[in-house]
Amino acid sequence: MPSTRHFPPTPTGRHVLAPGTVVERHHHDEHQIVYAGRGVLSVTTDAGSWVAPPNRAIWIPAGTPHQHHAHGATDLLTVGLPVGANPLGLLAPAVLGVDPLLRELIRARTSEPDAGPAEQRRLLGVLLDRLRQSPQQPVHLPAALDPRLVAVCALLHADPADGRTLPQLGTAVGASARTLARLCRHDLGMTFPQWRTQLRLQHALRLLASGAPVTLVAHRCGWASTSAFIDVFRRAFGHTPGTHR
């Protein structure tokens, strides 16, 4: 059974999460960087979900209610930033690329919480400078609003390998393909194939974190072949799923 945890209100810290751990819904008065030094972490808000493997971090704006879910044994590192410190001007959660320097800055900030004020200011200044160079990564799965599209998304969440076309899914929920395509653009900000690919990539990250073989992951996520899955995964994350594992 997944365990549920409640963290102290401080937005900066380091936590070791067992596989399947859920950190209940909460928010912080500061911005927060959420990073998984090991394992895969997903963050869910009212607007959708974001997934962060170890070469990604999630930016959570101040005041945003969110929930964490650990996939595989996960080292959760969180860094709080003052409300006035928003180097990328982000008003919504986002996934950011983490290079080796930013990774070590996050580790230093969470491993030395009692460092003196002068040292903390210097570390924060360098961290903010590095964040300005962090590219945003498309690992966001928006949430649907219209009940008809919510029903379609629920079918695919239950089985990401479901290969039905949009017209076939529309028949299942009582909506036309044209209506669903319009709702995808309005609610999700992307096309249906783009959303389904994001769903499958997020599911793949979770399965890889649990130790599933690459071929099995490709099958369970609906790719026609392992090579097709590897190609899409490499283009999305910059490395192969085998390297990721």
Q: DSSP character for 132? A: T
Cα torsion angle, 130, 136, 140, 146, sign: positive
Residue type present at position 182: R
Looking at residue 115, its pLDDT comes to 64
Q: What is the mean pLDDT of the chain?
A: 88
For the cut 80, the answer to whether the pLDDT of residue 6 exceeds it is no
Q: Going by C-beta distance under 8 Å and a sequence separation of 6 or more, which residues neighbour residue 159?
A: none
Tell which residue, 103, 132, 104, 109, has the closest CA to residue 122.
109
The answer to whether residues 237 and 202 touch, using CB atoms and an 8 Å cutoff, is: no
Cβ–Cβ under 8 Å, residues 64 and 93:
yes
Within 8 A by CB and 6+ apart from 13, the residues are 7, 77, 78, 110, 113
Give 68's DSSP letter: E
Q: What is the pLDDT of residue 221?
A: 96
Cβ pair 65, 27 in contact under 8 A:
yes
Instruction: Give Cα 174 to chain centroid, integer Å.
Output: 31
Q: Which range among 21-35, 99-113, 141-155 shows the weakest confidence by mean pLDDT?
A: 99-113
Q: Summarize pLDDT for 30-85 with one digit per residue, the tens.
A: 999 999 888 888 899 988 888 887 788 999 999 999 999 998 888 999 999 989 88
| Terminal-to-terminal C-alpha distance of the chain | 24
Tokens of 123: 């570390």
The DSSP output letter for 188 is I
pLDDT in tens, 97-135: 888 999 999 998 888 666 677 887 888 889 989 988 887
| Cβ neighbours, 10 Å, residue 119 | 12
CA distances from 164 to 17, 72, 147, 167 (A): 36, 30, 19, 8
pLDDT given at position 138? 64
Domains assigned to the chain: 4-137 (2.60.120.10), 144-244 (1.10.10.60)
Residue 181 has a pLDDT of 96
Tokens of 36: 């998984």
